[in-house]
Amino acid sequence: MPWKERLISLSLGMLSACAAQTPATSPSPPLSAQKRFGDRPGITLLAAAPSSAVQGQTLYVPVYSEIFDSEADRTFQLTVTLSLRNSDRDQPITITTLDYYNSGGDRIVTYLDTPIQLGPLASTEVVVDSRMDRSANRSNTTGGVGANFIVEWQSAVPVSDPVVEAVMISTASQQGMSFVSPARIIENLQP
């Protein structure tokens, strides 16, 4: 077989092998709240949210799993860390919803299948890695430049509002960037 035909055959074989793999934008299987948060200090898994909440909020947290890099068709991939911090020194709060959405408004991941309680001054985080499969060096662009989290929290007694913010960071070669995006209140609980 001439070298050009061998090269074409090899190229077609490599393309078909790549096509059989899972796309880079497929989200990884969700973990249960028990597996994700069960062994973290200051966190208690609850069977259900308290029925007598007197305070709470729905928060919108803008995040960026990628941002544009000098051109509209070239993006820079970022790792997102959503930080959830109970700022009250005496009382716990309950996180009832922790969902990740893409730029199109589609829910990509639900991080809680059961509510979690953050003890006084306790904190936890969720990481959305910029690469789904580090070994294949494929990018996670499922969230996009308009990704966001919706977080709902409540408390059975008056508390100080939690601090919820996202930290985005990435490095490539000798270039690095990081920035913070605070949560915005989109709804207050009406008891």
Identify the burial level of 129 via C-beta atoms within 10 angstroms of its C-beta, where 0-12 means exposed, 13-18 middle and 19 or more buried: middle
Q: Which of 50, 48, 140, 51 is nearest to 92 (CA)?
A: 50
Give tens-digit pLDDT for 69-115.
777 777 778 889 999 999 999 999 999 999 999 999 999 999 999 99
Q: CB neighbours of 109 closer than 8 A, spacing ≥ 6?
A: 27, 30, 99, 100
Say if 9 falls within a structural domain.
no
Q: Does pLDDT of 54 surpass 80? A: yes
Answer whether residue 3 is part of any domain: no
Residue ranges making up the domain that contains 62: 27-188
Q: Judge whether residue 38 has pLDDT over 80.
A: yes
If one compares 20 and 153, the residue with the highest pLDDT of the two is: 153
Q: Is residue 103 part of a domain?
A: yes
Q: Give residue 15's pLDDT.
A: 37
Model-wide pTM > 0.85: no
Burial class of residue 134 (count of CB atoms within 10 Å of its CB; 0-12, 13-18, 19+): exposed
Q: Is the pLDDT of residue 138 over 50?
A: no
Q: What are the tens digits of pLDDT across the range 141-190?
A: 567 788 999 999 999 999 999 999 999 998 877 778 889 999 999 999 87
Residue among 94, 62, 54 nearest 78 (CA): 62
Q: What does the DSSP assignment read for 60-116?
A: EEE--SEEEEEETTEEEE-EEEEEEE---SS--EEEEEEEEE-TTS-EEEE--SS-E
In a domain, 8, yes or no: no
Per-residue pLDDT band at 36 (split at 50, 70, 90): confident
Q: Rounded to the nearest 5°, which phi and psi values hold at 14?
A: -70, -40
As a whole number of angstroms, the longest Cα–Cα distance in the chain is 79
Residue 30 has pLDDT above 70, yes or no: no
How many domains is the chain partitioned into structurally? 1
- 1 confidence band (pLDDT: 50, 70, 90): low
In a domain, 152, yes or no: yes
For residue 17, which amino acid is it?
Answer: A
**What is the structure's pLDDT at 155?**
96
Contact criterion met (CB below 8 Å) for 102 and 63: no
* Stretch 1-27: mean pLDDT: 42
